[in-house]
Amino acid sequence: MIWPWIVGALGFLLLSGVVMTMIIAWIIYATLLRRNKPGKWDRGISFPEDEEYCRMHDIGIAWGEKYKDRIREVAIESDGLRLVGEYFDFGGNSAALIIAGRTECLLYSYFFAEPFRRAGRNVLVIDNRAHGLSEGKVSCLGYREYRDILGWCRLLHDELHNERVFLHGICIGSSTALFALTAPDCPDYIEGMSCEGMYTSFYRSFDRHMDLDRPEKKKFPVVQDLMLHSREDPYSTPDQAEYLYAHCTAPKKLVWFPHGAHSRIRINDMQNYDDAITGFLGELDARAAN
């Protein structure tokens, strides 16, 4: 009879498809989400071939050098991991916590720190878990890292005596900040967040990466919120920003920038980027004073 052969062939094809999907999924996981070799996601420059990125890096390093006398090395333990950061004490009574995206360490965050210093905030930059000098093997896209952020906020408030904490996220750092702000145990001293390049889902952002970067491959809140978005962002596309803004019920502000690729807004318009943040923080200070 032919039916057993047909059933066997279909079963073989189905099993082969499942196995191939699992293999491809493992490769993507190991490549994008796991620190599986020495030097991966360390404190070196991530894209040395990218001129614009190198300018961001150099400006940030110069900023850190300028204020190196303000640095205090800090650390916390979260989920059994030792995580490290640098706290810039500018003498304020509030702090900003900058959360970088996947593959980036605290040196990258230097570039985004100046508007917060200008606004009178102390600044905390961190190596996310599995990045830089922090422990960990896996980037969880904010699903676990948000607990680390709450731990850092407790350090800022309880030990470093900051009355209020403001979060600034870039790309996945924005998602991490939002997870922290919407957590049931989020403390009320976290006053709000600003975000650059936030996306509606990592799948969609990854999907756009595959479309634009590797087209030959097939692809399988109760706080104040400031959204910074570029109309040229190829991954977290403008429609995603509009969707997120429309569904945010907290007091909010969306600032559009005409130029800048993903996570590259400030390098293309530093004055207006910084003014947007300092203006927003000024509004928060006025509310806190009343």
Q: What is the pLDDT of residues 138-175, one digit of tens each?
A: 988 778 899 999 999 999 999 999 999 999 999 889 88
Instruction: Give the domain extent around 12.
Output: 1-32
99 and 14: one domain? no
User: Domain for residue 37, yes or no?
Assistant: no
If asked whether residues 6 and 61 sit together in one domain, one would say: no
How far is residue 145's CA from residue 214's CA, in Å, rounded to a whole number? 28
Residue 39 lies in a domain: no
**Which of 197, 22, 190 lies closest to 102 in space, CA to CA?**
197
Beta partners for 195? 169, 227
The whole-angstrom separation of Cα 146 and Cα 165 is: 15
Could you give the CA distance from residue 28 to residue 84 in angstroms, rounded to a whole number? Answer: 27
Tell me what pLDDT residue 64 has.
98
Number of domains in the chain: 2
| Mean pLDDT, the chain, whole residue set | 84
pTM of the entire predicted model: 0.81
User: Per residue in 189-215, pLDDT tens?
Assistant: 999 999 887 655 444 444 444 444 444
Establish if 133 belongs to a structural domain: yes
Which one, of 68, 112, 120, lies nearest residue 90 by Cα? 120
64 lies in a domain? yes
Do 65 and 150 fall into the same domain?
yes
> Per residue in 73-119, pLDDT tens?
999 999 999 999 999 999 999 999 999 988 899 999 999 999 999 99
**Are the CB atoms for 191 and 221 separated by under 8 Å?**
no
Q: Kindly state whether residue 38 falls inside one of the protein's structural domains.
A: no
Structural domain contains residue 236: yes
22 in any annotated domain: yes
Query: What pLDDT sits at residue 23?
Result: 61
- The answer to whether the beta carbons of residues 175 and 198 sit under 8 Å apart is yes
CATH number at residue 62: 3.40.50.1820
Phi and psi angles of residue 97, each rounded to the nearest 5 degrees, phi first: -110, 115
Q: Are residues 206 and 146 in the same domain?
A: yes
SS3 state of residue 207: helix
